[in-house]
Amino acid sequence: MKLLASGNEAIAMAALDCAVDLGCGYPGTPSSEILDEFSRMGGRAEWEPNEKCALETAIGVALANGRALVTMKHVGLNVAADPLFTIAYSGTNGGLVIVSADDPGMASSQNEQDNRRYANSAGVPMFEPSDSQECYDFLIEAFKLADRFRSPVLFRVTTRVCHSKCVMDRHGKGLSPRQAEFVKDPTLNVMVPAFARKAHRRLRADLKAMQKWNEEGSFVKEVRNGSELGVVTSGISFQHVLDADPSVSVLKLGMTWPLPVERVKKFAASVKRCIAVEEGDPALGEMLRAAGVPVESPDESFRFGELNVDRVRKLLKNDLTPDPVAAPGKPPQLCPGCPHRASYEALRDLNCIVSGDIGCYTLGVMPPFNAVHCCVCMGASVTVGLGLRKMLPEAEARRVVSVIGDSTFFHTGINGVVEMVYNPPATGHVLVILDNSTTAMTGLQEHPGTGRKLDHSPAPAVSIESVVRGIGIRNVDIVDTTAEPERFRELLKQRLAENSCSVIIARRPCILAMAKAKTYQAKKENN
């Protein structure tokens, strides 16, 4: 069936057509729509507290011979890297595909790390689709590869592939369901050193076999034009190259680890000059040169930001004139009526040093608040704040406050609270949990505290106040900072003056989520 679909929608369709038993992940732009779509079409999907939990649940499904799809944004794979590197050794009987949605240009991210490096580093095969059709076709191929080699597979998409809509054919030639079965085989599934040593050798041998599979497979596409200049490329860059210069010959790789080195060698020999055109790191160029293929990489300036047709034209001509500076436009900001506004006004007015975290509330860095002073990664607010307090002189240490959102608290904030109780700074610490009862930035997804599952049906709610009290925080207050701004200010002043560890939960629902929450409630009552 021909239809117009985004890359994320195409991935969801392919997952359904591959009889995926569980889709799980943590929301993150540009990956968030995949699981919502999969669920909407009837797939079983779950938001988990973080990407590590999601990958581990998926590993369990695949160890029980099922098929699992895990979705996350690029930085999410850092959180899930621990299980990734070891499941690469042991493998699974079932199918395990991990979607890593990278964000070159940082449309909505804190860095532009290039997760193609993970494939090479962990020894996991990787597919890189360049449009919605390939998202659909390659996901099916990824599960076939998983079946054949018992290997987890990385599926790397980027912002433009995820969110661009293209015409595609959902042909439905997927895979039949797998039967649940767990075979007890510790030599395969328990990575103690004696078994892991063998597993590592097995992995390297498998990667050689996968390379052969890639060399012989249909994932390499050659567009033959002139023999003056040849381009080796993958992903969305391929589409830009086609438009940028119709005179160049192009070798487009669909499976980018292990690389089909022999195919590229042959191509490079067929043109006078060969250049790797890639968004992000010069990974392809470096790996091909290391394998002895004479491929150039463009000037360093092209590794920053997204590529597009204009930039690829310049890249091919080695034109290093600066790109035209676009008018800045209106920057994003906290919505009018956003409950975080009142919280940040108080933090600003009390001249706090604020250790921030990842979410809508990172926008507290913008005027008129200017009230986020450092921000690293999910969950870091709590522990970075503790470090600040341990280093700064007392008068300044007393002004340090960590702020974290509700979804981020469940993601990786809880460990920080444990550390806060275990190794408290001399001045104590204050953590403000900005609880707007949703995962707002990525599109209002549910989380363990909302009392609703991914599809918004009722679920047990984990209570933030019970969690922090259970960890050992004695001072726990709940305030609506919009309704009681003075109470919040007084409380904050009081807590900052004490030498104990305190948590203030600033609770008021996101204004965008409130309307939706009412419709979910009405639905629940009608059922």
Partner 1 sequence: MAVKNIVVAGLGGQGVLKVTDILADALFLCGYDVKKSEVHGMSQRGGSVSSEVRFGDRVASPMVPMGECDILAVLDSTQVEVVQAKLRKGGILITPDDVPKEQLKHPKALNTMILGAIAKHLDVKAEIWDQALASAFPEKLLELNREMFALGKK
Give CA–CA dist 375/372, Å, rounded: 7
Considering only 119, 220, 251, 360, the residue that binds partner 1 (CB under 8 A) is 360
Instruction: Give buried/exposed letters for 349-368 (b at 16+ CB in 10 A, else e).
Output: eeebbbbbbbbbbbbbbeee
Kindly state whether residue 240 participates in binding partner 1, applying the rule CB under 8 A. Answer: yes
Structure tokens at 511: 């204004």
Residue 229's nearest CA partner among 286, 302, 313 is: 313
Kindly state whether residue 367 participates in binding partner 1, applying the rule CB under 8 A. Answer: no
> In what side-by-side order are the strands of the sheet with 95-102?
45-47, 22-25, 67-73, 95-102, 153-158, 126-127, 255-257
CB of 103 to partner 1, least distance (A): 8
Among 185-193, 330-338, 406-414, 462-470, which window interacts with partner 1 (CB under 8 A)?
A: 330-338
Please say which residue, 331 or 367, places its beta carbon nearer to partner 1: 331
Give CA–CA dist 495/502, Å, rounded: 7
Please say which residue, 366 or 462, places its beta carbon nearer to partner 1: 366
Please say which residue, 31 or 355, places its beta carbon nearer to partner 1: 31
Considering only 1, 192, 327, 395, the residue that binds partner 1 (CB under 8 A) is 327
Kindly state whether residue 522 participates in binding partner 1, applying the rule CB under 8 A. Answer: no
Let me know the angle formed at the C-alpha of 323 by 228 and 224, rounded to the nearest 5 degrees: 20
CB of 358 to partner 1, least distance (A): 11
Residues 122, 76, 468, 56: is their CA dihedral positive or negative? negative
Please say which residue, 193 or 329, places its beta carbon nearer to partner 1: 329
Considering only 169, 185, 243, 498, the residue that binds partner 1 (CB under 8 A) is 243
Structure tokens at 166: 């293209």
Tell me which long-range contacts 452-455 makes (C-beta under 8 A, separation of at least 24): 452/520, 453/46, 453/47, 454/35, 454/36, 454/39, 454/45, 454/46, 454/47, 455/39, 455/40, 455/45
Q: Per CB under 8 A, which of residues 293..312 are in contact with partner 1?
A: 308-310
Give CA–CA dist 247/227, Å, rounded: 9
CB of 7 to partner 1, least distance (A): 10
Kindly state whether residue 333 participates in binding partner 1, applying the rule CB under 8 A. Answer: yes
Please say which residue, 107 or 190, places its beta carbon nearer to partner 1: 107
Q: Per CB under 8 A, which of residues 338..357 are in contact with partner 1?
A: none
Please say which residue, 180 or 320, places its beta carbon nearer to partner 1: 320
Contact yes or no for 279/104 (Cβ under 8 A): yes
Kindly state whether residue 368 participates in binding partner 1, applying the rule CB under 8 A. Answer: no
Contact yes or no for 100/107 (Cβ under 8 A): no
Contact flags string 69-108 toward partner 1, x per CB under 8 A: --------------------------------------xx
Please say which residue, 301 or 494, places its beta carbon nearer to partner 1: 301
Environment class of residue 42 by beta-carbon count within 10 Å: exposed (0-12), middle (13-18) or buried (19+)? exposed
Please say which residue, 3 or 19, places its beta carbon nearer to partner 1: 3
Contact flags string 145-184 toward partner 1, x per CB under 8 A: --------------xx--xxxxx-----------------
CB of 330 to partner 1, least distance (A): 5
Structure tokens at 163: 């969110």
CB of 161 to partner 1, least distance (A): 9
Contact flags string 24-63 toward partner 1, x per CB under 8 A: -----xx---------------------------------
Considering only 14, 55, 68, 363, the residue that binds partner 1 (CB under 8 A) is 363
CB of 272 to partner 1, least distance (A): 24
Please say which residue, 46 or 131, places its beta carbon nearer to partner 1: 131
Kindly state whether residue 334 participates in binding partner 1, applying the rule CB under 8 A. Answer: yes
Q: How many CB atoms lie within 10 A of CB 82?
A: 12
Helix axes 414-422, 464-471, angle to 10 degrees: 30
Q: At 503, which amino acid appears? A: V
CB of 143 to partner 1, least distance (A): 26
CB of 333 to partner 1, least distance (A): 5
Kindly state whether residue 324 participates in binding partner 1, applying the rule CB under 8 A. Answer: yes
Structure tokens at 38: 């999969």
Phi and psi (nearest 5°) for 355?
A: -95, 110
Kindly state whether residue 332 participates in binding partner 1, applying the rule CB under 8 A. Answer: yes
Considering only 41, 335, 365, 476, the residue that binds partner 1 (CB under 8 A) is 335
Phi and psi (nearest 5°) for 255?
A: -110, 115
Q: Per CB under 8 A, which of residues 101..140 are in contact with partner 1?
A: 107-108, 131
How many Cα atoms sit within 13 Å of 19 on the Cβ side?
A: 14
Please say which residue, 21 or 406, places its beta carbon nearer to partner 1: 406
Considering only 326, 525, 526, 527, the residue that binds partner 1 (CB under 8 A) is 326
Residue 156's nearest CA partner among 23, 285, 305, 256 is: 256
Backbone Cα Rg of the chain: 25
CB of 91 to partner 1, least distance (A): 34
Q: At 197, which amino acid appears? A: R
Size of the site for partner 1 (CB under 8 A): 38
Termini Cα distance of the chain: 34
Let me know the angle formed at the C-alpha of 78 by 72 and 84, rounded to the nearest 5 degrees: 85
- Residues in contact with partner 1 by CB under 8 A are 3-4, 29-30, 107-108, 131, 159-160, 163-167, 236, 239-240, 242-243, 308-310, 324, 326-335, 360, 363, 441-443
